[in-house]
């Protein structure tokens, strides 16, 4: 139905003042955000002064509950209010991270081996902003390694997986109370290498995020105790001050879980991406037809290929157990392929039921969670 | 570093007034959102009256640009302001969808075959809220089908894939100017069946979303022309008024692309879910160790299993071409498995390079896009 010219003029005349009102409200909104940012910056300064954690779950929950209640009274969607507040709070966490309290009495020197790498740089920055003296040890610096580490409180290994064990072995002797730690994506092998190298405090860490996160508030860091926990307690406190969520595992537990969380998942995305590439599928057409859910499916595959090929190959190859797990995965893939090729609908539905039983109520929760996220993805489109 | 009791008291005393200020600002924010909702509801009423589309990309872009500019001046993150505004606008689209203008002169009757199904219900609701008379034709209603359709302007097939062709054939003769359309996830077979059944206007539609979307603003609907386009022009206008983004394809193009967008993707998630299930992987442990990116990876797999097993089996089985495509997929999976089992790092990296070359710059864009989304996912954690 086409709209006539006079109707267009009439609708424009009615919409114009309403749009002006919206613009005025939005302008007040920006002013409010500016004022709020000033106050939260002040909160950040107080928290730094008293070494308080940036992220306080109880305060966050209470703040949100109060505004949800108010929203209900005012006839506004509580979901909208909560989403807006969480987004605003994320911003305040990232602006509050300008500086952190130092959790080591009297400060200390941190040597980051591989500190020029992507993730290494993030830790260099975090330690510097927390008042530590930070030195970076890169390939060219090994001749001076002994003098670099001689007064170190922490030597942190932030090097590619395939070099970790070798470079740990290459380290000069460390001061007895120096902490030796690593942030490799695998834990058994580096932890064993560190324990063999150093008699002092040893700690394995796996930050479960890439260098692309803008701050580490609420990010998970896996922690595998090595030796002399009291000697690295300050480092654990430091991670907490940065806002990390710490999760203790043995190195063996960690590595087994990572095979499923990382290696098999990366493998699955790799195969799918190669499949699309070799089919010569027209990406622009795929995108044109993709609603948010399929765009996200495609993005989760495509994002892999913007990352470091060697790192991902190393993660996939990192475990001795990968062979058995992979054989079983391949076997299942082939079994399900046969069902599909044989057009065995009942067989496919029986396999589907295994997944339903396994995920249980979590499947529905994931559906809700991805739905909320997809609504946000839809917001992105302009 | 522990905080002493006196320091705790001092920090509490300093934080309390700041937190009161934040609460006061947040309270004003909720009031502002309530006022904005009142104005946008009024905008919705004007748009309905003049049959204007809810979603006007130019107005949205101009509104956001003005506030981003203001944010820069005020020292607030323009990204924050844009995210908050997009979230608010999403809410206003969903509240504005209470009613729509009717795009068929003088209204009309719509019969939704399968209108009690999940997606069928959504269309029943959309047509009702647009002033159409809507009748639902479910299994028990077939004896009265002839009288139900005798004065219909549109018969919309919204039934499971495996029943579509059969139920189209079973339809009584439709009025000559009645539109026959379907919303099946495949297009060639239903379109052929509709053209064989009815001599009047025929249109194939594929809404690229599930029944879980809260409104269809910005959602993609694929449109496959059948016959007599002028006869269903009103239906296309109606989809636009609802805010859908229309995308024209031939049925063959659609089906080929859907094999990659839907069938192979669902297959991939199915295999991964079954793999996790049969490994007996501890989901709680996997989640405990999952940062937002891995939680999202797992959620994208798990969400499949909250959905209808038969629908997904039908989508996977829907195309005659699936066999060849699947064989090639299986072959690639096995090839990459062999590389991994042989610990052939160079081989894996060469495969990775294929994906890098294929996705090109889009890989980086997907990484950015998923990063923004993951930051939002992190907001969800409380």
Are residues A33 and A120 located together in one domain of the fold? no
Average pLDDT rounded to a whole number, residues B250-256? 93
Asked whether residue B238 falls in the same domain as residue B328, the answer is no
**Domain count along chain A:** 3
Residues from chain B that touch A11, judged by Cβ atoms under 8 A, are 46-47, 49-50, 52
**Of A61, A96, A131, which residue sits at a domain end?**
A96
Please indicate, yes or no, if residue A360 is contained in any of the structural domains.
yes
| pLDDT digits 0-9 by tens, B61-109 | 999 999 999 999 998 999 899 999 999 998 887 766 567 889 998 889 9
Q: Could you tell me if residue A103 is inside a domain?
A: no
Q: Do B39 and A18 touch (CB under 8 A)?
A: yes
* Residue A90 shares a structural domain with residue A119: no
Q: Does residue A96 contact residue A231 with C-beta atoms inside 8 Å?
A: no
User: Last residue of a domain, which of B96, B121, B155?
Assistant: B96
Residues B63, B36, single domain; the answer is yes
* Chain A CB contacts of B375 below 8 Å: 90, 213-214
A126 and A240 belong to one structural domain: yes
The mean pLDDT of chain A is: 90
Same domain, B89 and B190: no
Look at residue A227 and give its three-state secondary structure.
Answer: strand
CA distance B62 to chain A (A): 10
Cβ distance A278 to B326 less than 8 Å, yes or no, reads: no
Chain B residues inside the 8 Å CB shell of A316: 340, 348
CATH number of the domain residue A71 falls in: 1.20.59.10
Q: List the CATH number of the domain containing B137.
A: 3.40.50.720
| SS3 label, residue A262 | helix
Distance, CA of A169 to CA of A197 (rounded, Å): 6
Residue A67 to residue B39, Cβ atoms within 8 A: no
* ipTM higher than threshold 0.85: no
B296 has pLDDT over 70:
yes
A 10 A CB-CB count for A74 gives 17
Specify whether A296 is located in the same domain as A244: no
Q: To the nearest whole angstrom, how far is the Cα of A175 from the nearest Cα of chain B? A: 22
In this structure, the answer to whether residues B127 and B75 fall within a common structural domain is: no
Average of per-residue pLDDT across A17-37: 95
Contact B84 A87 (CB under 8 A): yes
Gap from A360 CA to chain B (nearest CA, Å): 8
Give the minimum alpha-carbon distance from B199 to chain A in angstroms, rounded to a whole number.
24
Encode pLDDT of B335-358 as tens digits: 999 999 999 999 999 999 999 999
Residue A168 lies in a domain: yes
User: CA-to-CA distance for B251 and B190, rounded, in angstroms?
Assistant: 9
pTM: 0.78
State the pLDDT at residue A320: 65
Model confidence at B381, pLDDT cuts 50, 70, 90, reads very low
Sheet holding B179-182, edge to edge: B133-137, B109-113, B154-157, B179-182, B202-207, B220-227, B245-248
Kindly state the helix (H) or strand (E) to which residue A157 belongs, with its residue range.
Answer: strand A154-157
* A15 and A119 inside one domain: no
What is the span of the domain harbouring residue B67? 18-96
Question: Strand, helix or coil at A98?
Answer: coil
The answer on B117 and B168 residing in a single domain is: yes
Last residue of a domain, one of A186, A216, A248: A248
| Together in a domain, B231 and B341 | no
pLDDT on residue B230 = 97
Percentage of the residues of chain B whose pLDDT score is greater than 70: 95
Whether B135 and B86 map to the same domain: the answer is: no
Specify if B101 maps to a domain: no
CA–CA separation, A23 vs A28, rounded Å?
9
Contact A145, A115 (CB under 8 A): no
Q: Which helix (H) or strand (E) holds B155?
A: strand B154-157
Across the interface, of B337, B349, B378, the residue whose CB is closest to A218 is B378
List Cβ neighbours of A131 (8 Å cut-off, separation of 6 or more).
A99, A100, A101, A102, A107
């Amino acid at each position: 139905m086409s709209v006539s010219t006079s109707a267009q003029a009439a609708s424009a005349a009615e919409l114009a003042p309403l749009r002006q009102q919206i613009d005025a409200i939005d302008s007040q909104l920006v002013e409010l955000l500016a004022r709020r940012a000033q106050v939260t910056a002040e909160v950040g300064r107080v928290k730094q002064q008293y070494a308080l954690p940036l992220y306080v779950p109880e305060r966050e929950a209470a703040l949100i509950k109060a505004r949800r209640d108010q929203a209900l009274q005012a006839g506004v969607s509580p979901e909208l209010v909560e989403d807006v507040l969480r987004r605003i709070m994320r911003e305040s966490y990232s602006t509050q991270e300008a500086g952190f309290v130092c959790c080591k009495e009297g400060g200390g020197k941190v040597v980051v081996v591989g500190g020029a790498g992507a993730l290494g740089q993030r830790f260099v920055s975090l330690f510097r902003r927390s008042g530590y003296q930070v030195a970076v040890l890169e390939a060219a610096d090994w001749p001076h390694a002994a003098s670099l580490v001689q007064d170190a409180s922490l030597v942190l290994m932030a090097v590619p997986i395939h070099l970790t064990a070798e470079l740990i072995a290459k380290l000069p002797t460390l001061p007895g109370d120096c902490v030796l730690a690593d942030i490799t994506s695998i834990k058994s092998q580096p932890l064993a290498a560190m324990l063999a190298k150093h008699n002092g405090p040893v700690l394995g860490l796996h930050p479960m995020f890439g260098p692309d996160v803008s701050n580490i508030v609420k990010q998970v860091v896996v922690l595998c105790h090595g030796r002399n926990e009291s000697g690295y307690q300050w480092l654990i406190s430091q991670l907490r001050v940065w806002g990390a969520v710490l999760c203790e595992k043995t190195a063996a537990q960690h590595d087994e879980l990572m095979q499923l969380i990382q290696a098999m998942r990366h493998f699955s995305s790799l195969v799918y991406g190669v499949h699309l590439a070799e089919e010569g599928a027209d990406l622009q057409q795929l995108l044109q037809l993709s609603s948010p859910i399929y765009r996200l499916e495609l993005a989760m595959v495509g994002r892999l290929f913007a990352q470091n090929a060697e790192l991902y190959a190393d993660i996939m190859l990192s475990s001795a157990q990968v062979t058995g797990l992979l054989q079983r995965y391949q076997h299942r893939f082939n079994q399900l392929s046969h069902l599909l090729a044989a057009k065995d609908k009942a067989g496919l539905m029986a396999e589907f039921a295994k997944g339903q039983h396994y995920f249980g109520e979590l499947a529905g929760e994931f559906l809700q969670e991805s739905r909320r996220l997809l609504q946000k993805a839809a917001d992105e489109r302009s």
